Structures are given as structure tokens and as C-alpha cells.
Structure 1
């Protein structure tokens, strides 16, 4: 499968709601949250009016002309907030495209884009038991806080020499 990573197009912005739902780690496939969860006040800021704020940035993963994943960030006080002007990111792939290295390539591309824009750091939140946590550690994120089973992680973009 040929992977193309590119900026999201204006017409594709509605897909962010789908990817936000995919970004919610749900280990039990028989007990999934309703899709409407992405419209709750806690999650809405991740996608609402995306592209309208300075610093909004989104790359998509495209395979065979279809968008199959997205990595995006914006400055919000979300679950992974670590400081003023530090954007928080989200990343997700449709389940059938996971485990192929696409997430790693997509996230690396977003980190490079943010670094090129002069961004000093980026943050996220992840459930400690979520397999994606290992990816974040490999790419240079470090845990800066823990709340229950959730890690708040930060990647300082100026010092990426140790990241794979």
C-alpha cells in the first residue's frame, strides 16, 4: 500500500470528527462509546471550527485516494494541556490501517511540520495501557503528569536527536 502524507483539504475537515472518535482508545470492542461522545464539551474543542485558529495544523494519511488517518493539533486546554502556546495533538487511523507503520510516519511528519513552523513543543494525553503510548515514547514524548491511568505527554521539538 502506497502512503501519501499531505495537509488536510478544507473539504475534508468534517473527517476530523470521525478521526477524533477513532482516537478514543476503546479496548473492549463490545462496549464502544456512542459516536456522539465527540460532540461533548470536553471533546468538541479538538475539532470545532478547525483551521480557524492560529497554529491549527493537520496532516492526513491517504491510501489509494482515500483518507485513512489524520494527525492534527491546536492550542487548547484539553486533556493533554501542558502550558500556554503548546499545541495538543490527536492522531488516529481507521482500524484496518493500524499496525502498518502509517501512524509512525504520520506522526513523524506532523512533528517535523510543527518544528519547521517554529513550534517548541507539543503535548497529548493517552491511556497508559493504550498500545499507542509506546509509539509516543519511541518518538521522543515523555510523561509529564499522570491522572489515574492517563498520561499527559510532551515532546520538546527543539531536541529530537534521541527520537527514532
Structure 2
């Protein structure tokens, strides 16, 4: 499956609400988490007023349709977010169900790590439900579990792991680095 990974455009920030809901691990499809959950103060901070200096988002497109996103925020108050780590981006990622397990999520993760490394961050954190199979992807990318909570793990990627070795794929970027083009999924 051919896909394109690019930076999110300003007019697309509204998509983050949909992708935050998609990022919620649904333990039981018969009784899904209600969509209004994303407006809880602990979650809406991941999309509300997105576009600040330290906000980054990459979008995945298939045939011109946005199918996934990975984004990070550095919260101004270290008591916000799940990681509660000062000057540390917190990461969220999601793909629409038909586009999962096709290598797109891995490519999004690799590219956001490369982007954050180029920005000079020391680490990036994410929170993941213990039952979420995405944990295996995060571990393969060298995220480490740094804290275990009742239902989730806090995982951190340290940039001294040399993210240049994340992928053997060559990425062709336009001159303004706004687009990362035409990668072929091999998974």
C-alpha cells in the first residue's frame, strides 16, 4: 500500500479530535468509550489550541485521504499530560482501523522521532494501555517502560538511542521539508 507522510496543515488541526478518539484503546467493542470522553480536561489538552511552538504533527495519507496522525505536545505546566516530565514532548498516534497493521503507524513513529531529534529533544513520552498490542511496536522502536500504573504504562524514548538507525528506508523530502513523500509499506 502506498502512502504519504507529511506535516499537518494548520487547517487540519480539527482532525486531531477524531484521531484522539481513535487513539483510545477500546477494550470492549460492544461497549465502546463514548466520544465525549475526549473532552475530559485530561484528554482535550492533546488537541485544544494545537499549533503552539512545540507542537508537531505528521499525517499519513492514502490516495489523498488522511488515514492517520502522530502528534506531540510539550505542556507548559509539568503537571499536565500523563508523563508529567518537564520539557518532554508527549506523543499520541492513531490510524483508522482499515489502515492499521500495514506499516503506516511504524513509519509515522519513525518520522516523528526523527523530527523531534532534529529539534534537539532529549526524550519523548507516551502513555499506553497495558492491553494495547501497540506496546510491541513501541518496544521495537526502543521505547522503555519507565512507570507502571494500574491500567497503563508510561513509556519513554531516549534520543541517545540514535534515531537515524530507526529505518532503512530512504525518505525523500521536498526542499521546504513540508512533505515526506511516497513511502512503500513493507509490513
Corresponding residue number in structure 2 for 1:101:
103
**Alignment root-mean-square deviation, CA:** 1.4
Inter-partner Cα distance in structure 1 for 2:104 and 2:49: 26
With CA pairs under 8 Å and 6+ residues apart, which has the higher RCO, 1 or 2?
2
Corresponding residue number in structure 2 for 1:124:
126
Inter-partner Cα distance in structure 2 for 1:133 and 1:154: 12
Consecutive unaligned residues of structure 1, counting only runs of 5 or more, are none
1:27-106 correspondence to structure 2 within 5 Å: 27-51=27-51, 53-76=52-75, 77-79=80-82, 81-106=83-108
SS at match of 1:22: helix
Corresponding residue number in structure 2 for 1:20:
20
Partner deviation per Cα, 1:60-91 (whole Å, 9 max, x = no partner): 00110011000000013212x15200010000
Structure with greater Cα Rg: 2
Inter-partner Cα distance in structure 2 for 1:44 and 1:127: 18
1:127-146 correspondence to structure 2 within 5 Å: 127-146=129-148
Paired residue total = 162
Deviating runs (4+, > 4 A) in structure 1? 161-164
